[in-house]
Amino acid sequence: MPDAFLIDGLLQSVLEASLTGFHLLRPLYNPAGEISDFAIVYLNPAGQLMLGLPERPEQSMHTQFPTVETSGVFAFYRKVFETGAPGRFDLNYQADGLDNYFRLSARRNGELLVVSFTDTADQDRSVVEVALRESQAREQAARAEAEAQRSTLQRVFEQAPVAIGIVRGPELIIEVANPLIMKLWGKTPEQTMHHPLFDALPEARGQGFEALFEQVLQTGTPVVAHESPVRLERYGKLETPYFNFAYQPLWDAHNQLNGVIIIATEVTQLVEARQKVQTLNEELAAANKELQAANEEFTTKNEELALAQQQLQQLNQELEGRVEERTHELLLAQGEAVRQQQRLEGFFSQAPAAICILDGPDMVFELVNEAYQALFPGRRLLGRPLLQALPELAGQPVWHTLRRVYETGETHEETGIHIPVARHEQEQPHDFYFHYIQQARYNEQGQIDGVLVFALDMTNQVIAQRQTAQLQADMLAVAQQRAAERESFFQVFEQTPAVVSILQGPEHRISYHNQAYQQLFPGRQMRGLTVAQAQPEAVDQGFVALLDEVYRTGQTFFGNELPIFIAQADGQPAREIFFNFTYQAYRENGQIVGVSVFAYDVTEQVLARQQRAQTQARLQAMFEQAPVAIAILQGPDYVVDVANPLVCTLWGRSADEVIGRPLLEALPEVRGQGFKEILDNVVQKGEAFVAQEVTAMLERRGQLEQVYLNFVYQPLRDEFGHITSVAAVATEVSEQVAGRQQVAQANEQLRQANAELDATNQQLTRTNVDLDNFIYTASHDLKAPITNIEGLLAALREQLPNGADPAGDVQALLTMMEGAIERFQKTIGHLTDISRLQQVNNQAAEAIDLASLVEDVRLDLAPELNAARAWLHVDVQACPTISFAPKNLRSIVYNLLSNALKYRAPERPPVIGLRAYCENGLNIVEVQDNGLGLSEGQQTQLFTMFQRLHSHVDGSGVGLYMVKKIVENAGGSIAVRSQLGVGSTFTVSLPG
């Protein structure tokens, strides 16, 4: 609960400092017990200024504001009061003399409804705030201009006749996609937006688009494709439509490449039938609605409530003084009456009190002193019976008490007795109040013979006391009402989203803060500490210096959207929050004693505006970087309202030369070419016009050029559906047209060349057949002579006499001749094998158990494997069966394993691996060794006939050539990967 300082001054300062309007409403009920209206009990100065009403308006809410019923305000107030649940309500109120946007916050407190409200009306401001408001006005004007541009671009993209999308980052997250691109994809926004492109379109994987996107993101170079087929699943059906599309790099404001713009049109019908393409045009989606920004802030200046509080205090002091004074007078009078009674006999006639002696049972005035007679200056009393002199006393209590005293002798004393009596004859009675004593008088015999009356006039005191009591009761009621109002406002402050705090003294000690203030600093002790102690970050950020200045000068400080960095207890980075706030000096008796703080968190508005600015920048960048020419033509004269760089390049003009000018004035050479007539027809019918490869004459670089264009004229509509402009989207296809013409010519030349090449191939085929026949015949015919020579050498060796060759020269020569004959025979054998390859290729394929075949080869090579202490690992589980000619497959495996043994490295045991697997419809056989390896130069010569790369082992250089011929004749391929000194891997790919 706030202390006395807050109770006496906080409420007044808060209300008078608040820029937010506050009013208290009391419900009015109809005979059925339903709320029919609200009485405006109180309106603070900010509310008075906003609504143009006094502090306590006489008229009810319905009378003052008739439109509250239809606007929903009355229903909102009634709901909050009846349910007790706080609520908020925003509306644009344009009635009853008001024309502003209002934000209302209401909460029930007892039998009152507390309402806080803000509006957008201008108010008198300080010099600082006037400058701030002017700055805001300029900002708003700039925002309005930007919004107009954004709206124009928005309509362009919403109604664009081409499919447009934006993907960002290496994962190609879909950020923007207009309805047309959704239709081309056959997907809904829920299936695509904010998903990676190839997750949303999985069927598009593996078609080469990944590489295109990567190329654009890495090089920043656009990619353009025409009539490209794409496999897409659209609406549950797998289709292959054709598209013209462009991938354009998207640069941010810092010239960083962070995305790709996709612009596409479907040309399936054009590809299939070369007919007119019906381009689907839809609205461009993904536009962020501008968030409404309404800054609710508390400000200052309301002195009336403080003045009323001061007047109440002064009145209480005055009443207390008067009561004390009257009480003192009464005590003096009582003392004087006692003394006069004690000395009655001595100074009866000088007594200041009214004294009389009534004689006998008729109560005849026997003695009346001056004070008593002064009560009745116009009436004769002495010698007359009481009821004759003062007949109005008959029946009054005073008469009955006199009789009782006379009859019983008991003294009667009464304070404040009321006696209505006339001071003059024939006059209406006046109300008198007396301190009254009636005492029996005794004669010498001790008998009662009269009554002594002592009366002290207390009329003025009694009236004053009653007035004081009434005034005190009234003041108590007012104080209770003020207390209830204070409590209501404290409840509002505790529950309002605005930040409220009261700082005392030059050190700015926090004497009060609401819950919203505490939530900014969770876990921190705030109350009783200085700002510098509770918020050390405020010192470095300059806020304590601002508070010092406000305390010193009394000048209010207004902060607009200022960032505040609040340190976090968990070691996280400081949290940045934006506030609109007011520092207002707080005064007591005209002296500054503290500073009140009122602030609103406007972080969402600031971030939203920044987001809008980023979106605007992205849209502008997208428009500027679009890989198609775009222009917006406004009005009946088709004034160029927007023109991106590409359309300016297409027209051969700068933007300054075309923007703001009618189309035919900016491009006079297009008169008579039919474009204006097409535009008129688009506006008249409201339908888009699509054209492909249209010829146009444009003046570029000082001379007329013939160009070919694909373009779309799309009507743009305003929010009322009226056509206000036309969007022109075009691409120049002059190069494509010229290229297609060149391709057609080249195709004809290629057809002729292919015919010549076919004839040449047939001739080569015949030549190869003749060559194969020659090789086979030659090798067959040479076998017999070589065999004869071999026999003659054997006979010569046998016939050579002993001792005929003492030096051994003849034997050496014979041995050399036999070696030459053996090599010649091997060569003839290899030539025979090579000539048979074509015939062998025609052998029928069989399903071969690869593991069994490899095991047969291993048995054949067992002596060599054992001699070399080699280790052979076989893994063919992934491809256990291969369909191939058995003899040819065995020859392939044998040659590869044999070579791995022959060309092993002498310094390490041979390790040979053979594995088989299936990949992309092919059967792969791979042989890997850790042998000598090959240099890059050797690898290029490896499969050449009779080419030997190592001379330390026997070989003819024909084995790998034959393997290559067998594999290629079967439609396969063989490749080698090798590193000198490490080993080699041979990979054979055979058709599945």
Same domain, 924 and 951: yes
Give the tokens for residue 798. Answer: 């046998």
The conformation of residue 348, written as its DSSP 8-state character, comes to: G
Would you say the C-alpha torsion 169, 170, 171, 177 has a positive or negative sign? positive
**Distance (Å, whole) CA 48 – CA 281:** 54
Same domain, 744 and 727: no
Q: Which residue has the tokens 């080993």?
A: 983
**pLDDT tens-place string over residues 57-67:** 988 999 889 88
Same domain, 850 and 987: yes
CB 679 within 8 A of CB 713: yes
Helix pair angle (127-158, 603-625), 10° resolution: 40
Would you say the C-alpha torsion 186, 188, 189, 195 has a positive or negative sign? negative
Residue 574, C-beta contacts closer than 8 angstroms, at least 6 positions apart: 537, 565, 566, 567, 568
Predicted confidence at residue 754, as pLDDT, reads: 81
Same domain, 853 and 979: yes
Parallel/antiparallel/unpaired status of strands 703-717 and 591-601: unpaired
**Distance (Å, whole) CA 726 – CA 680:** 10
**Distance (Å, whole) CA 966 – CA 838:** 8
Same domain, 855 and 978: yes
Domain count for the chain, please give it: 7
**pLDDT tens-place string over residues 700-732:** 888 899 999 999 999 999 888 899 999 999 998
Compute how many other C-beta atoms are within 10 angstroms of the C-beta atom of residue 928.
19
Parallel/antiparallel/unpaired status of strands 871-875 and 846-849: unpaired
- Secondary element (H or E) of residue 837: helix 809-841
Residue 725 inside a domain? The answer is: yes
Predicted confidence at residue 663, as pLDDT, reads: 92
Predicted confidence at residue 279, as pLDDT, reads: 35
Compute the radius of gyration of the chain from its Cα atoms: 57
Would you say the C-alpha torsion 913, 917, 920, 921 has a positive or negative sign? positive
Same domain, 956 and 870: yes
Residue 40 inside a domain? The answer is: yes
Parallel/antiparallel/unpaired status of strands 35-43 and 21-29: antiparallel
Please, what's the largest Cα pairwise distance for the chain?
A: 214
Torsion of CA 584, 590, 594, 596, to 10 degrees: -30
Show the domain range for 602: 492-608
**CB-neighbour burial class of residue 971 (10 A; exposed 0-12, middle 13-18, buried 19+):** exposed
Give the tokens for residue 668. Answer: 């006079």
Residue 228 inside a domain? The answer is: yes
Report the alpha-carbon angle 53-54-60, nearest 5: 65
CB 945 within 8 A of CB 961: yes
Same domain, 438 and 516: no
CB 517 within 8 A of CB 29: no
- What CATH number is associated with residue 979? 3.30.565.10
Same domain, 81 and 102: yes
Predicted confidence at residue 498, as pLDDT, reads: 82
CB 962 within 8 A of CB 895: yes
What CA–CA distances, in Å, run from 114 to 54, 347, 544, 916?
17, 68, 33, 85
Compute how many other C-beta atoms are within 10 angstroms of the C-beta atom of residue 188.
9
Same domain, 639 and 599: no
The conformation of residue 440, written as its DSSP 8-state character, comes to: E
Q: Of 601, 634, 629, give the one whose Cα is nearest residue 718.
A: 634
Give the tokens for residue 215. Answer: 């190329």
Residue 28 inside a domain? The answer is: yes
Residue 471 inside a domain? The answer is: no
Predicted confidence at residue 739, as pLDDT, reads: 83
Residue 320 inside a domain? The answer is: no
Report the alpha-carbon angle 422-424-428, nearest 5: 40
Render 746-802 in DSSP notation, one character per residue.
Answer: HHHHHHHHHHHHHHHHHHHHHHHHHHHHHHHHHHHHHHHHHHHHHHHHHHHHHHSPT
Predicted confidence at residue 553, as pLDDT, reads: 93
How many Cα atoms sit within 13 Å of 419 on the Cβ side?
29
Predicted confidence at residue 775, as pLDDT, reads: 59
Q: Of 787, 821, 855, at which residue does a domain stop?
A: 821
Predicted confidence at residue 930, as pLDDT, reads: 95
Torsion of CA 687, 693, 694, 696, to 10 degrees: 130
Q: Of 415, 491, 492, give the one whose Cα is nearest residue 456.
A: 415
Predicted confidence at residue 950, as pLDDT, reads: 55
Return the HEC string of 93-141: EEECCEEEEEEEEEEEECCEEEEEEECCCCCCCCHHHHHHHHHHHHHHH
Give the tokens for residue 710. Answer: 């694909």
Parallel/antiparallel/unpaired status of strands 871-875 and 689-700: unpaired
Residue 290 inside a domain? The answer is: no
- What CATH number is associated with residue 236? 3.30.450.20
**Distance (Å, whole) CA 432 – CA 416:** 9
Backbone angles phi, psi at 426, to 5 degrees: 55, 30
Q: Of 412, 437, 425, give the one whose Cα is nearest residue 384.
A: 425
Q: Of 513, 494, 493, 495, give the one whose Cα is nearest residue 503.
A: 513
Same domain, 724 and 761: no
Q: Of 710, 732, 754, at which residue does a domain stop?
A: 732
CB 586 within 8 A of CB 592: yes
Report the alpha-carbon angle 556-593-511, nearest 5: 95
**Distance (Å, whole) CA 178 – CA 512:** 53
CB 109 within 8 A of CB 493: no
CB 369 within 8 A of CB 377: no
Residue 87 inside a domain? The answer is: yes
First to last CA, the chain: 89
Parallel/antiparallel/unpaired status of strands 557-566 and 723-732: unpaired
**CB-neighbour burial class of residue 905 (10 A; exposed 0-12, middle 13-18, buried 19+):** middle
Mean pLDDT per block of 10 residues along the chain (992 residues) reads 44 74 91 92 88 89 88 92 91 77 88 86 44 53 62 59 85 89 88 92 92 92 88 88 88 84 85 51 35 33 44 55 58 53 50 82 90 86 91 90 93 87 86 88 89 85 80 75 65 73 92 84 87 87 92 92 83 84 88 90 86 79 82 93 90 91 92 92 93 90 90 90 92 87 83 81 66 58 67 73 68 73 62 56 80 94 92 94 91 92 92 95 95 84 63 61 87 92 94 84
Same domain, 592 and 574: yes
Backbone angles phi, psi at 838, to 5 degrees: -65, -40
Parallel/antiparallel/unpaired status of strands 871-875 and 237-239: unpaired
Parallel/antiparallel/unpaired status of strands 871-875 and 911-919: parallel
**Distance (Å, whole) CA 601 – CA 212:** 46
Predicted confidence at residue 685, as pLDDT, reads: 92
Report the alpha-carbon angle 820-821-826, nearest 5: 95
Helix pair angle (809-841, 959-969), 10° resolution: 10
Same domain, 101 and 215: no
Give the tokens for residue 638. Answer: 């088709």
Torsion of CA 244, 246, 247, 249, to 10 degrees: -170
Q: Of 732, 764, 784, at which residue does a domain stop?
A: 732
Render 489-550 in DSSP notation, one character per residue.
Answer: HHHHHHHSSSEEEEEETTTTEEEEE-HHHHHHSTT---TTSBHHHH-THHHHTTHHHHHHHH
**Distance (Å, whole) CA 229 – CA 238:** 13
Give the tokens for residue 338. Answer: 């006692």
